[in-house]
Amino acid sequence: MSEGRNTALFAAALALTTAAVTYDHVAWGVPEPAPAASSAPVARGASPCSAGTPVQSPCAAGAPLKAAPPPPAPMPQAKEGKLPPPPPPAPKPTAEAPRAAPPPPPARLPEGASEAPDLVPDRDP
Amino acid sequence: MSLSASAPTASGGFLPELAVDRSPATVAAAFLLAGFAAIWWLVDLRQATLLLIGGGFGVALYHGSFGFTGAWRRMVVERRGRGMRAQMLMVGVAAIAMMPLIAAGSLGSQPLVGAIAPVGVSVLVGAAIFGLGMQLGGGCGSGTLFTVGGGSTRMLVTLAFFIVGAVIGTAHLPWWLEQPSLPPIGLGTELGLPLAIAVTVAGLAAVALITAVIEKRPHGGLESEPAPRRPGWRWLLVGPWPLVGAGLALALLNIATLLVAGHPWSITYGFGLWGAKIAAAVGVPVETWTFWTWPAQAEALSNSVLADTVSVMDFGLILGAALAASLAGKFAPKAALPLASLVAAAAGGLLMGYGARLSFGCNIGALFSGIASGSLHGWLWFASAFVGSLVGVAARPLFGLDGFKRRQA
């Protein structure tokens, strides 16, 4: 290292900053990561213009986020009498369709075999 | 350790032999690597990657001596525009890549948003205040950080007051936002992507052309980019880098920031956050201030600073600049610090912090990232800050600093 340098001053500044960052991290911690499928606007590591903020919002650092867009206007009500008629109800069957034959009873397991828990039939009625 | 330079060439010669500042270089490199591992472990890989990208910014800024303050002053005092033309190239390259990405809205599962902000009185006034402050402080947002990383004692003072100014700015920003303003205007949305890119590049080219015309009048020609001044490729490691090369590296790193962080490069938001956290720690109820009740700001205030993308990149930038300065053998040189100069540093830092908060960023967050995102507020910021910078150059002699040259009688 060359002579005539302020190295000690910057070493002290580095040590102080490291201590402050460590204290801050211990005091506050990091946010829980958002679920992958979630559309939550603020995820881990989020900053004013970071992940999840709506694209159309002002995103320069510190800029206030634009208010959420208003909900879509309700569909205009069609005038009475102009609605298409509802479909007619399905006609009732005049005769019962022949029922399918009941499935055969499950084959008996060989002696000593075990069944998956979900497939064990309840013993109680 | 010393890196020897070979014999001078006919093209003007190499810089003299240099001695690497080994201890600071080792510490800076160790902190970058340990910081990467720790942040990966404590937060996630994305934040750790952003620390390294910030380190890249620091190296490029330091080795290129890529600053806005000196380049703007050189333009108006010496009529030399090489620095400003490199800045325009940098913004243009970034804009061509970033505007389509921002228009797409996402890349894979990563949402991408631009630095797009309202165009109003707060930007107009804030940028002018910032421009004045950066000439007194001796560096803009990026300039302050990379010179602090390089070991400038004076810029430590500027940074400290920058942080104070940014916190005061967060207290006043809601009032400023009530003043007349247009909504955020994104050129990509208003004009369509192809025309928006064309208009942006044309605007940047026009600025570069104006600087060339102004430079040619007194000098008869344009200042050329000097050849590498170290043998072989050693200049990549120890610098100095050509301005154009540094500008292109910064453009690529800003694109990388957008892809990894989901938003473009920003610096000064971190200063306000650090200041607010310090203020809160000593009992100032900043969490009740309107600014810090906004969702993103409240979230940042109540989380670890390591979870804030801007802060982590700022830390990386300082460490990267420290590494670059040490490799160049220039870390933390002792320099005389007259009181008037320190007063100017403090005043400049305060003005920059306050102005940056009002105008949604500094030369990086508002000018570079704003224009590259296609935001109209970036252009307003540029014009207003340049006017403020002119006032700042005129005011520098009040603090014993160089300003406009006096005309010979």
SS3 letters for chain B?
CEECCCCCCCCCCCCCCEECCHHHHHHHHHHHHHHHHHHHHHCCHHHHHHHHHHHHHHHHHHHHCCCHHHHHHHHHHCCCCHHHHHHHHHHHHHHHHHHHHHHHCEECCEECCCCCCCEEHHHHHHHHHHHHHHHHHCCCHHHHHHHHHCCCHHHHHHHHHHHHHHHHHHHHHHHHHCCCEECCCEHHHHHCHHHHHHHHHHHHHHHHHHHHHHHHHHHCCCCCCCCCCCCCCHHHHHCCCCHHHHHHHHHHHHHHHHHHHCCCCCCHHHHHHHHHHHHHHCCCCHHHCHHHHCHHHHHHHCCCHHHCHHHHHHHHHHHHHHHHHHHCCCCCECCCCCHHHHHHHHHHHHHHHHHHHHCCCCHHHHHHHHHHCCEHHHHHHHHHHHHHHHHHHHHHHHHCCCCCCCCCC
User: Looking up tokens 């940056």, which residue turns up?
Assistant: B356
The pLDDT-based confidence of B332 (bands split at 50, 70, 90) is confident
Shortest Cα distance, chain A CAs vs residue B224, angstroms: 33
Residues A64, B19: C-beta atoms closer than 8 Å: no
Q: Does B43 touch chain A (CB under 8 A)?
A: yes
Helix (H, G, I), strand (E, B) or coil at A5: strand
Residues B151, A1: C-beta atoms closer than 8 Å: no
> Quick check: A64 and B357 in contact, CB under 8 A?
no
Q: Which residue of B has its CA nearest to A21?
A: B305
- Residue B154 CB contacts under 8 Å (≥ 6 apart), including other chains: B138, B335, B337, B341, B342, B345
B window 210-229, beta carbon within 8 A of A = none
Q: Find the mean pLDDT for residues A35-57.
A: 40
The pLDDT-based confidence of A32 (bands split at 50, 70, 90) is confident
- Whether the predicted interface score ipTM is above 0.85: yes
Joined together, the tokens standing for residue B269 give 């938001």
Chain B contacts of A6, Cβ < 8 Å?
151, 153, 332-334
Q: Does A15 touch chain B (CB under 8 A)?
A: no
Q: Does B98 touch chain A (CB under 8 A)?
A: no
Joined together, the tokens standing for residue A23 give 């204290």
Residue from B304, B33, B334, B158 nearest A9 by CA:
B334
pLDDT at B18: 78
R_g of chain A, CA atoms, integer Å: 35
Residues B117, A10: C-beta atoms closer than 8 Å: no
Residues A9, B46: C-beta atoms closer than 8 Å: no
State the average pLDDT for chain B: 93
Cα torsion B347, B353, B359, B361: sign: positive
B3 forms beta bridges with B18
- Higher-confidence residue of A31 and B77: namely B77
Residue A52, pLDDT above cutoff 50: no
Kindly report which listed range (B128-132, B209-213, B337-341) carries the lowest average pLDDT score: B337-341
Q: Which residue of B has its CA nearest to A23?
A: B304
- Higher-confidence residue of A55 and B72: namely B72
Mutation test of the interface with chain A: which of B304, B315, B362, B377, choosing the one with the most A Cβ atoms within 10 A?
A: B304
Residue B220, pLDDT above cutoff 50: yes
Residues B102, A55: C-beta atoms closer than 8 Å: yes
Residue B342, pLDDT above cutoff 60: yes
The pLDDT-based confidence of A39 (bands split at 50, 70, 90) is very low
pLDDT at B249: 98
pLDDT at B226: 81
- Residue B221 CB contacts under 8 Å (≥ 6 apart), including other chains: none
Residue A23, pLDDT above cutoff 50: yes
Of A5, A47, A54, the CB nearest to B263: A47
Measure the CA–CA gap between B407 and B409, rounded to whole angstroms: 6
B window 170-189, beta carbon within 8 A of A = 170, 173, 177, 183-184, 189
pLDDT digits (tens, 9 = 90+) for B272-319: 999 999 999 999 999 999 999 999 999 999 999 999 999 999 999 999
User: Looking up tokens 């994305």, which residue turns up?
Assistant: B46
> Quick check: B96 and B357 in contact, CB under 8 A?
no
> Quick check: A82 and B303 in contact, CB under 8 A?
no
User: Looking up tokens 């390591």, which residue turns up?
Assistant: B306
> Quick check: B58 and B319 in contact, CB under 8 A?
yes
> Quick check: B362 and B142 in contact, CB under 8 A?
yes
Residues A28, B302: C-beta atoms closer than 8 Å: yes
Of A10, A47, A51, the CB nearest to B151: A10
% of chain A residues with pLDDT over 70:
22
pLDDT at B136: 97
A window 78-117, beta carbon within 8 A of B = none
Produce one character per residue of B271-298: b if its CB has 16 or more CB atoms within 10 Å, e if not.
Answer: bbbbbbbbbeeeeeebeebebbebebbe
Residue B27, pLDDT above cutoff 90: yes
pLDDT at B37: 98
Chain B contacts of A30, Cβ < 8 Å?
42-43, 303-304, 306-307
The secondary structure of residue A16, as a DSSP letter, is H
Half-sphere CA count of A108, side-chain side, radius 13 A: 3
Q: Find the mean pLDDT for residues A37-48.
A: 40
Shortest Cα distance, chain B CAs vs residue A70, angstroms: 17
- Higher-confidence residue of A75 and B147: namely B147
Residue A85, pLDDT above cutoff 90: no
Chain B contacts of A9, Cβ < 8 Å?
153, 156, 332
Q: Which helix (H) or strand (E) holds A14?
A: helix A7-28
Q: Does B370 touch chain A (CB under 8 A)?
A: yes
Amino acid at B325: A
Amino acid at B223: E
State the average pLDDT for chain A: 58
CB atoms within 10 A of CB B184: 24
Phi, psi of A5 (to 5 degrees): -120, 160
pLDDT at A45: 37
Joined together, the tokens standing for residue B242 give 């050509």
Residues B111, A52: C-beta atoms closer than 8 Å: yes
A108 forms beta bridges with none
Q: Does B307 touch chain A (CB under 8 A)?
A: yes
